Chains A and B, each alone.
Chain A
Amino acid sequence: MSASAEATVLITHAVGLHARPSVKFTKLAKTFAAEVEVAVAANGPWFDAKSIVKVMAAKAPKGTMLHIRARGDGATQAVKALVDLVQRDFDEDADHARSA
């Protein structure tokens, strides 16, 4: 039976899960073998977290509770790493958030 993990995290970044944050988010997701998905509601729809086109389509602004779930190798680590990234505001300072 393959591993699976799920978590929710509050998006605090000024512009939400958008252009630059989503580049970082999908790049990080792609480093894991596990299948990773995101959603803005607990019951979906779920979007492929490795596709920037899909992640952007989730349209998650600041204040969204982002649901992240993963299945397969490294699922737990993938969810943890992605939650950390969101909690760190995508490693962007306020200056960059302006035009991110």
Chain B
Amino acid sequence: MSVGNRVMRIEGIPASPGYAEGPLFDLDQPPVSYKAKASVGEEQAALVSAIGKAVGRLAVLIETADGDAAGILEFHIAMLEDDALRGPALAAIGSGQPADAAWRAALDREIAGYEASDQDYFRARAADLRDIRDQVLRALSEDGEAAAPPGAILHGEDIAPTRFLETDWSKGGGIALQRGSTASHVAMLARSRGVPMIVGLGALAAPPTGDALLDAEHGAIIFSPSPAEVETFRQSASSFADRQGAAKTFLTAPAVTKAGTAVRVQVNIAYPSDVEGIDIETCDGVGLMRTEFLFGKTLPDEETQYHAYRKVLEWAGGKPVTIRTVDAGGDKPVPGFTVEETNPFLGLRGIRLSLKRLDIFRVQIRALLRAAIHGNLRVMFPMIATPDEYGQAAALFAQEQAALVAQDVAHKLPPLGIMVEVPSVALAPEDFADVAFFSIGSNDLTQYVMAAARDNAAVAHLNSVRQPAVLRLIAAVAAFGLEKGIPVSLCGDAGGDPETIPALLAAGLRDLSVAPAQLATAKAAIADVAV
């Protein structure tokens, strides 16, 4: 296409299948510097608008921030909205300074005042003031920054979840990352929204520009493609679309293998609003409703949680909805809740953290008990490693239930199950014979069995559910469940992967939970299995 650019094809790892053709957008471009305006009035307007932008962003963060974090964000907003803070900067602009310099100087004077304090608490607020200063400076310089054009292929070292959520994917487009991971939260989001994405491209000599072809089915990106390559690419893309279309015919029917074996296929959801795009008739319920996204950056109160859970339960009608108690920690930090650790995947995450922060856990338990009357709720605990942890969590449910009885509040005790993701459970399921159900979290189970971090592209080849040791553990749990009459399902990414589904069914699983965008292809893949 473009003359002078060398054609370059780089292999990567598919993280969300699909094809995209479009202009490249560099995620790592350095921040644009502030462009001076023509008049004092425009400079002042630019500052006021940048402050407004910063406030707007903080307001969005507050929605999902916990008590402590929300308090700090509210403080930032109150400071930004105070005329006393912007007054000196606006006055300095009036006497000829550009907006960025005026704001910086005004805030630096404030900061110096805090730093000079003899009280620790006050000195610590200087960091807040610096944060406030920089938020507005960033908003000021973004003024002239180009947004990703519609249908662009975003490429760079890595991508922040907020960037993904801010991007308009309705015109197509995709993501190509030099690092990244197929198990990152952006990858999950991409799969559930059907946005093509590849990871692990490795460092590029020079940032490519122009148009590119993204093949996220096989895992490659082609820079400066030749007309012949464009032609081949479009054929593959159209064939992929046809296969997706064919899979859609499977969507509305129950999943059955070639041999006539019925397989339950449920969906994984992260936000209560996710259900709005799903027809309940196309799935057997919700196999995993995550709750940490609801926790995001703030801890939602009992009412917020109750309404979120109730919404999904009512949507599902009588079909089961399995809600997982908050699985913060690991690669999902929640400010004010999770702790800084050198090795977070092996640290205080999931149920371990909940049992340490009973104030937070009890609120979620009450919301779940109250919501349970609105549908077919099941509750599961993440990261269970010992029977004692399950016992403690179940006891907390009993305590909160007794409290609700005493207060005459309508509620129901749902069946309580556990995630099978720590190898200790998969190796000795007999120690957990009193749980109501098992749900295999294949992403974490694999990373712990193979000692291969799920967010590290360098060890992605090890991070496969189809490794014999992982499959053997899954088969053992399935066999134990069958023997004892304890339902076993799988809610990791593997459940929606057509390449892995045959192995999972062969291991004895008959209950998979997949990303909503994968429902059709998963059912189509099941129909192709001879089990």
Q: Residues of A with Cβ closer than 8 Å to B?
A: 15-16, 18-20, 22-23, 26-27, 48, 51-54, 56-57, 59, 61, 95-96, 98-100
Contact = CB atoms under 8 A, between A and B. Distances in A.
Given A20-B71, A26-B78, A95-B359, A15 B121 contact: yes
Nearest to A19: B75
B125 A19 contact: yes
Contacts of B128: 19
Contacts of A15: 121
A29 B32 CA distance: 40
Given A16-B121, A56-B125, A61-B119, A51 B71 contact: no
Contacts of A22: 75, 78
A57 B433 CA distance: 61
Interface in B338-376: 359
Contacts of A51: 82-84
Contact of B336 (A27, A52, A54, A99): A99
Nearest to A47: B84
Given A51-B83, A53-B110, A100-B71, A18 B78 contact: no
Contacts, number: 56
Interface residues of B, number: 22
Given A57-B113, A59-B119, A59-B122, A48 B84 contact: yes
Contacts of B79: 52-53, 56
Interface string B35-73: 000000000000000000000000000000001100110
26 contacts: A15-B121, A18-B122, A18-B125, A19-B71, A20-B71, A20-B75, A22-B75, A23-B71, A23-B74, A26-B78, A27-B78, A51-B82, A52-B78, A52-B79, A52-B82, A53-B85, A53-B110, A56-B79, A59-B122, A61-B121, A95-B359, A96-B67, A96-B68, A96-B71, A98-B68, A99-B71
B117 interface: yes
Interface of B: 67-68, 71-72, 74-75, 78-79, 82-85, 110, 113, 117, 119, 121-122, 125, 128, 336, 359
B117 to A, nearest CB: 6
Contacts of A52: 75, 78-79, 82
B74 to A, nearest CB: 5
A46 to B, nearest CB: 14
Given A16-B119, A16-B121, 16 more contacts: A15-B121, A19-B71, A19-B75, A20-B72, A20-B74, A20-B75, A22-B75, A23-B74, A51-B83, A51-B84, A52-B75, A52-B79, A53-B85, A53-B110, A57-B113, A61-B119
Contacts of B85: 53
A99 B84 contact: no
A100 B122 CA distance: 12
A25 to B, nearest CB: 10
